Amino acid sequence: MLYFNSNNLLALDFENFSFIYGDDNSQKPVVSNISFKLKEGEVLILAGSSGSGKSTLSFAMNGIIPWRQKGLVKGDVKIFGKSIWDYNFSELSKLVGLVKQNPNDQLITFNVKDEIAFGLENLRFPSELIEERVKRVSKLMGINHLLNRDIDQLSGGQKQLVILSSFLVMNPKILILDEPIAFLDQQSESLLLNRLKYLIESKEYPITLVIIEHRLSRVMDIADRLLILNDHGKVSLKGDIKQLFTQNFEDIRKNNIRVPWIIDVFHDFQKQISSMRKFNYPSDFQELIELIPQLETEDLQSLYEIVINKEINPIELQKYEKFDELIEFEDVYIKSLKELKERNNKILPFETDGVLETKNLTFKYPNSGIVALQDLNLRINQGDFIGLVGPNGSGKTTLLYLLANLYEPTSGEIYFNNKNLNEINQFEYAKKIGFIFQNPENMIFRPTLKEELLYGPKNFGLQKGLKDSYITKLLGLVGKEDPQKNPFHLSWGQKRRLNLSSIFIYNPEIILLDEPFIGQDQKTIDSLIETLYIENKRGKTIIISSHDYHLLLKYTKRIIELNKDGTLRDYDISQNYFQKHKNLGPIVLLEKIKAQNELVNNEK
């Protein structure tokens, strides 16, 4: 990476930093004794479990702590050699920019040009300088053609680039990106990452980047350093990112980090390889592909099986195909599948009536003319486990809202168990549906964790039969938190897990999830998937909307894909969607292994 200061200044210097929210010093610090240094021009990935304190550190970098967030501080944080206590908030916020996870949280105006210029206008910069900076930055980020566009006409990736540009015109020295690709489709994600690489390599902006991210595979190639926090808010690992992955891989995996799948697969392959030869860890997918011609037949077969067992048909879920053992689960109380074997065996895909069906379903947003969905015909059967995919703006969330009866179709019909939703009591239908919103705060209604968990059962008159042990285990899914804690004081990932617990507790027949993997560490994803997988085996119908094709490849059985205009592109009912769309890494890798194996056999 490029260092722009001849003295190679330290951009960030944390010295035994600890922080407690509020004024009760008997509370456990959110982060404890954090020490690390980051040079100007470097790129740091800040990783760790949900609730480990990543956001707290970002607040200390840009002045929210100590100037806007009440709390108890120990140690010090220096920005370019100067303590945060010696800055005022306005001065520090100009120096350090924080781009939040969801771009919609920071968009203020209605027009792209106005949005980028907003901060400079507030600071009363001369109009000529504002005009010049907006043009220069928008060109750098590749969005100069969007300057006259309305914000609501932008894709998710374009919105992120607009927010990024609105910070860059302020000439910050440090920029913090909180899960910048979380809400983006593949095209938007590629657009943003391409611009970040361009920004890092540009000599025009001497910037230091801190990227908070769970999906390391997407950002590690632009990073210099990695800092991992453990569940107790302490530094678990820190150092050069490539060195850590080659020398401390097991330690990284133990910290619930979503490790890049190519390194995860290769690590297991290295342990099983039959030849004496050892290979260097691949730094990207292309290096893994280039390794294949060097492998012997036995090793090719070994690699093939590892990919299948880790990325296509996860071995940790294969045990649930059997109904003979009692299933125990540390996070959530689950009944024995053995008790439900007889009932579930009667539920065979496509031999029962559709539990949900849409006929010519169309939805237009009122007063805007925007068509979200067009003429959609779908049949979803009891026990289906479906992934819902499509680019930003294709109507995925809208479809979930319609199926949950939260929106009313502009035209067309929706049927539940062959009965039109218009003819079904809305209160009774609400008991059948569990909906996990994209923004977890949209479904938090009560002031404590326990009250929030019991909100649904109370509304539906289902509270009497709940056991205390069941309530305790569902609260445990959120983390080791006080049941009387305010839910809004949780991390994004913890709020999401609270949402899930509040749905599972009243046992709906259909579970709809809108981007459930955002903000989640590996352990939570594993726990969530196992829970959903078991609930699916018990007959529940599950639909997951997500941009994370990789996880859908591993866990769902069928895929609904929508076009940008809200029409149906593909509805795979034969479980081979990813065989038809072979651009995902694991599928490409399997095809390369098979081709190499055939080549070796033909040569024999």
Please tell me the predicted confidence (pLDDT) of residue 362: 96
Please tell me the predicted confidence (pLDDT) of residue 2: 36
**Could you tell me which of 74, 126, 50 has the C-alpha nearest to residue 491?**
50
* End-to-end Cα, the chain, rounded Å: 47
**Could you tell me which of 275, 274, 281, 237 has the C-alpha nearest to residue 260?**
281
Distance in angstroms (rounded) separating the CA atoms of residues 6 and 514: 48
Can you say whether the dihedral through the CA atoms of 389, 394, 396, 397 is positive or negative?
positive
Tokens representing 192?
Answer: 């943003």
User: Which residue type occupies 498?
Assistant: L
- Residue matched to tokens 């391409």: 194
Give the least confident one: 176-180, 548-552, 565-569: 548-552
- Is the separation of the CB atoms in 151 and 111 below 8 Å? yes
- Residue matched to tokens 């059962």: 457
- C-alpha Rg value of the chain to the nearest Å: 25
- Rounded to the nearest integer, the mean pLDDT of the chain is 84
Tokens representing 141?
Answer: 């980020």
Pick 482 or 465 by higher pLDDT: 482
Whether 223 shows a pLDDT value over 70: the answer reads: yes
Residue 64's alpha-carbon distances to 21, 68, 71, 88, 280, in angstroms, are 12, 5, 11, 11, 43
pLDDT in tens, 227-254: 999 989 999 999 999 899 888 988 998 8
Whether 181 shows a pLDDT value over 90: the answer reads: no
Task: Give the pLDDT band of residue 338 (cuts 50, 70, 90).
Answer: very low
- Is the separation of the CB atoms in 492 and 517 below 8 Å? no
Residue 265's alpha-carbon distances to 144, 220, 311, in angstroms, are 41, 17, 9
Please tell me the predicted confidence (pLDDT) of residue 359: 95
Are both 10-254 and 323-573 of the same fold?
A: yes
* CATH architecture of residue range(s) 323-573: 3-Layer(aba) Sandwich (3.40)
Please tell me the predicted confidence (pLDDT) of residue 277: 67
Distance in angstroms (rounded) separating the CA atoms of residues 253 and 39: 26
Segment 585-595 shows an average pLDDT of 90
Angle between helix 127-140 and 112-122 (nearest 10):
130
Whether 117 shows a pLDDT value over 50: the answer reads: yes
Pick 441 or 38 by higher pLDDT: 38
Beta bridge pairs of residue 237 = 228
Task: Give the pLDDT band of residue 533 (cuts 50, 70, 90).
Answer: confident
Whether 542 shows a pLDDT value over 60: the answer reads: yes
Please tell me the predicted confidence (pLDDT) of residue 221: 84
The full set of domain ranges for the chain reads 10-254, 261-312+587-603, 323-573
Segment 216-231 shows an average pLDDT of 90
Residue 141's alpha-carbon distances to 41, 55, 179, 188, 392, in angstroms, are 18, 26, 18, 13, 20
- Is the separation of the CB atoms in 58 and 178 below 8 Å? yes
Distance in angstroms (rounded) separating the CA atoms of residues 517 and 278: 35
Please tell me the predicted confidence (pLDDT) of residue 353: 56
Segment 505-534 shows an average pLDDT of 84
Task: Give the pLDDT band of residue 350 (cuts 50, 70, 90).
Answer: very low
User: Which residue type occupies 584?
Assistant: L
pLDDT in tens, 295-305: 888 889 999 99
Percent of the chain residues past pLDDT 70, beyond the cut: 90
Please tell me the predicted confidence (pLDDT) of residue 244: 92
pLDDT in tens, 51-100: 889 999 999 999 899 888 889 999 999 999 999 999 988 888 889 999 88
Distance in angstroms (rounded) separating the CA atoms of residues 21 and 86: 21
Whether 329 shows a pLDDT value over 70: the answer reads: no
CATH superfamily of 10-254: P-loop containing nucleotide triphosphate hydrolases (3.40.50.300)
Tokens representing 548?
Answer: 């994370």
Whether 275 shows a pLDDT value over 60: the answer reads: no
The string over 133-158, giving b where at least 16 C-beta atoms fall within 10 Å of a residue's C-beta and e elsewhere, is bbeebbebbebbebbeeebeebbbbb
Task: Give the pLDDT band of residue 584 (cuts 50, 70, 90).
Answer: confident
Please tell me the predicted confidence (pLDDT) of residue 352: 44
Distance in angstroms (rounded) separating the CA atoms of residues 27 and 489: 14
Alpha helices in 174-260 (DSSP H): 186-201, 241-247, 249-254
- Is the separation of the CB atoms in 17 and 77 below 8 Å? yes
Percent of the chain residues past pLDDT 90, beyond the cut: 39
Give the least confident one: 1-5, 49-53, 506-510, 557-561: 1-5
